[in-house]
Amino acid sequence: MDLIVDTSRKGIRMFVCGVNAANENVERELVKTDARSEKLENLLDELLSSVNAALENVKRVLVLCGPGSFTGLRTGIAFCEGLCFSGKRELYGVSSLKAFTTFANSTPVVITKARPGFWYYSENTENSGEYFWSTEQVVKALANVTATEAVLDDNAVACADIANAIAAKNIAVVKESEGSLASLRKVLDWGLKPSPVQDANYIQPSYAEQ
């Protein structure tokens, strides 16, 4: 089975899919927007129990590594590292911005809030980096994008400057808050290699310093 864990946003999101203890194909998503990271173990037990599975059935773990809530990210990553410490499971880490591209039908722009007036911004998964930009920089970038979709968090949706820039380019909006972790199964088909040490340190100091 595959387990996907997202603590980069508010609360905790988990998704499990694959063959359970009864040899049945199952999938289930658990979303607790009010849960704190210390509840990860209890929520995992709840999720696995709901699909008649045990931790032994999980063979791959994918964790979102940010940008996002610093405390949530560190706790979520450490939790997933603990699940894979025995070597019975492979651990994969992926940028949250890259993961959110799977919510769209094409290669989208992704914009999520960093702090007031600043945003995390990514145009695609291969040829462009991830940026910590002011609203002005984001609006300028949007004027030149070729993407037909944009994955936005609720804060970006509510930002008039960003909304106007997207409307001017006739870009379809996909709300990040409505995206299902089931879509993230695509990430495991990207050819990622298990390298938890490198990916677990994804949180870049520049995000905090600027």
Report the CATH number at residue 58: 3.30.420.40
My answer on whether 89 and 136 are in the same domain is no
Q: State pLDDT tens for residues 79-124.
A: 999 999 888 899 999 989 999 999 999 999 999 999 999 999 998 7
My answer on whether 70 and 20 are in the same domain is yes
Whether residue 5 contacts residue 83, with contact meaning beta carbons closer than 8 Å, is answered with: no
My answer on whether 192 and 111 are in the same domain is no
My answer on whether 199 and 116 are in the same domain is no
**Over 80: is that where the pLDDT of 209 sits?**
no
Residue 175 CA from chain centroid, whole number? 13
Question: DSSP class of residue 55?
Answer: G
My answer on whether 120 and 165 are in the same domain is yes
Lowest mean pLDDT among 89-103, 162-176, 186-200: 186-200
Q: What is the CA radius of gyration of the chain?
A: 17
My answer on whether 134 and 187 are in the same domain is no
My answer on whether 16 and 57 are in the same domain is yes
pLDDT at res. 22: 93
pLDDT at res. 129: 80
**Could you tell me which residues come within 8 angstroms of residue 3 by beta carbon, excluding any fewer than 6 positions away?**
14, 15, 16, 44, 58, 60, 61, 62, 83
Token digits of residue 104: 């769209």
My answer on whether 116 and 147 are in the same domain is yes
Report the CATH number at residue 161: 3.30.420.10
My answer on whether 114 and 185 are in the same domain is no
Domain that holds residue 204: 2-96+181-209
My answer on whether 22 and 37 are in the same domain is yes
Overall number of domains in the chain: 2
What does the alpha-carbon distance between residue 3 and residue 29 come to, in Å, rounded to a whole number?
A: 10
What does the alpha-carbon distance between residue 187 and residue 36 come to, in Å, rounded to a whole number?
A: 25
pLDDT at res. 204: 43
* Mean pLDDT along residues 138-165: 97
Token digits of residue 76: 């979520």
Reported as a pLDDT band with limits 50, 70 and 90, residue 38 is confident
My answer on whether 149 and 131 are in the same domain is yes
Q: Record the pTM.
A: 0.89
